[in-house]
Amino acid sequence: MDKEKYYKYMFLSGVLYNLGAGLLFGLLPIFIAGFLPAFGIENPPSLIFLHMVIVLVYGYALAYFIAMKDLSKAKSIALVGGITKIAFFLLAVIYFILSLTTTISGCGWPMILILLPDLIQGSMYLEFYFNY
């Protein structure tokens, strides 16, 4: 597979992953009361902050779609996407560790597994940024 095609599929995977995550964490907590606790997250009194984050997740999906369509203009999107995806994963790991070592409510290991693609995709986006 040539590099151009590889990078287009890479950004497509980001589009699909973010759309799936948006659906999963944006809609299911509305209908299933125990959805967030299954991931080690307490149900918040309001879902507004979760839904605001989901809007950002959809915004990133749109950005990855734009990057996929025109790789020559994708470097900035790849840099921001790479940094934020890795930071998102690391923040979840920090909260997971805090939940094990303190009384702070963090997140459970299922959330770490779900966010592992963020770490992988973030690394791939940074590779694109430095090598394309």
Longest dimension (CA), the chain: 50
pLDDT single digits (tens) 39-82: 778 888 888 988 898 999 999 999 999 999 999 999 999 999 99
Burial label for 46, CB within 10 Å (0-12, 13-18, 19+), is: exposed
Please spell the DSSP secondary structure of 66-79, one letter per residue. Answer: HHHH-GGG-HHHHH
Q: In the prediction, which pLDDT does 129 show?
A: 97
Give pLDDT, residue 101. 84
User: Could you give phi then psi for residue 103, rounded to 5 degrees?
Assistant: -90, 5
**For residue 104, is pLDDT > 80?**
no
Number of domains in the chain: 1
For 35, list phi and psi in degrees, rounded to 5.
-65, -55
21: nearest Cα among 102, 106, 115: 115
